[in-house]
Amino acid sequence: MKRRKFIQKTILGTVGISFFTGVYSWQIEPFWLQFVEKKMPIENLPKHLIGKTIMQISDVHVGNRFNYQYIIDSFKKAQQLKPDIVVYTGDYVSYESKKQFEQLTHVFKHVVTGKIATVGILGNHDYGHNWSEQQVASKITTILENAGLEILSNEQTNVNGLHIIGLDDYWGLNFNPKEIMKKVSNTNANLVLCHNPDVCDLNVWYNYNGWILAGHTHGGQVKPPFLNPPILPVKNKNYTAGEIDLKDGRTLYINRALGHLWQVRCNVRPEITVFKLEEKT
C-alpha cells in the first residue's frame, strides 16, 4: 500500500508540475516583459551624448499568433522611460496576409519614439512569404516611416554625432552590407543595427570596432535549465541572447525579442533593452 500511494503521489505531482509549467509557459512568461539595463561604452562618443539612453526594441511580430494588445501595453510602459534614442531591429510582423498591414498600423499608433531620434531596420519576416516579397517590405517600410521611424537599408544616419549604420536583413532581398561598411570610419562614434547575428561571422566588417545590436533569435524562446535552447534560427549556436564579446573590437548584443513567433516562452522572458551611453576609455 505504501508503495502504491508513493507511486500515486509521484504521478499526481508530476502531472501538477507539468500542468503549471504548461500554463506558465503559455499564459505568463510570454507577457512578462523585462526591461534590461546595460552600459554601452562607445569610442569617440561626443560629450553631449554621454549619459543619454538608447532603447532597443526587437521582433515585435504583430499578427495573429498572440494578442498584440500586449505589444501596445509594452510600448506604453516603454514610453514612460522617455528614451533619448530608440532603435528597432526588425521583424515587425508575422506576415500571413495584408491584414498585418492594418494590425501594424494600429499598433504603431502607440509607437515608442526617442527624444532625439527613432531608427529601424527590417527583419526577414518583413519580407513576407519565404522572405521574398519586396512589396510587403515596401509597405511595412511606409507604415513605419509614417509612424516616425527612419528605416535604414544598408545606410548610415548621423544622430547628433552618433553614426548609426543599419544593415538590411541577411535573409531578405536587399542584403548588401559591404559598400556601407567600407564607408564606416573608426574615428567616428558608431553603432550597427543588424537583425540576424550570423552576419557577424561574414567577411563584411572591414575592421569595424564597436557595438552591433541584433535580434532574430528570441533567445530560443524556450531554454531548459543548464542547457542551450533547442531551437535557434542561426548557424552559429553561440548566438543566443545577451552581450557577446567577439574578441576583435566588436561587441554583439542580441535582444530576446518583445514579441514571439508562437505564444510560448520558458526561461526566456521577452525583453526591451535600455543602454546608457558612456565614453569608452
Tens digits of per-residue pLDDT, 223-249?
A: 998 788 988 999 999 999 999 999 999
Per the CB < 8 A criterion, the answer to whether 153 and 122 are in contact is: yes
Question: Which pLDDT belongs to residue 11?
Answer: 44
CA-to-CA dists, residue 61 to 115, 150, 253, 259, angstroms: 24, 19, 19, 5
Backbone angles phi, psi at 236, to 5 degrees: -85, 105
**What confidence category does residue 60 fall into, taking pLDDT thresholds of 50, 70 and 90?**
very high
- Domain 32-279, architecture per CATH: 4-Layer Sandwich (3.60)
Question: Could you read off the pLDDT of 148-188 as tens digits, one per residue?
Answer: 999 999 999 999 999 999 999 999 999 999 999 999 999 99
Q: Which residue has the cell 500586449?
A: 70
Q: Is the pLDDT confidence value at 18 over 90?
A: no
Using one digit for the tens of pLDDT, what is the confidence trace for 24-57?
A: 998 999 999 999 999 999 999 999 999 999 999 9
Interval 89-122: pLDDT, tens: 999 999 999 999 999 999 999 999 999 999 999 9
Q: Cα(15)–Cα(32) distance, rounded to whole angstroms?
A: 24
- For the record, the C-alpha cell of 139 comes out as 509597405
CA distance 18 to 201: 39
Residue located via cell numbers 503521489: 9
pTM of the predicted structure, to 2 decimals: 0.93
**Residue 75 confidence (pLDDT) above 80:** yes
Q: How far apart are CA 68 and CA 237, in angstroms?
A: 29
pLDDT above 90: residue 5: no
Average pLDDT, the chain: 93
Output phi, psi for 30, to 5 deg.
-60, -20
Treating both helix axes as pointing N-terminal to C-terminal, what angle do 134-146 and 99-107 enclose, rounded to 10 degrees?
Answer: 20
Strands (E), the chain: 34-42, 53-57, 85-89, 117-121, 150-151, 155-159, 162-166, 189-193, 210-214, 242-245, 250-254, 271-279
Q: Would you place residue 2 in the very low, low, confident or very high pLDDT band (cuts 50, 70, 90)? A: low
- Cβ burial of 201 (10 Å; 0-12, 13-18, 19+) is middle
Residue 225's pLDDT is 86
Segments making up each domain of the chain, as ranges: 32-279
Residue 213 has pLDDT above 90, yes or no: yes
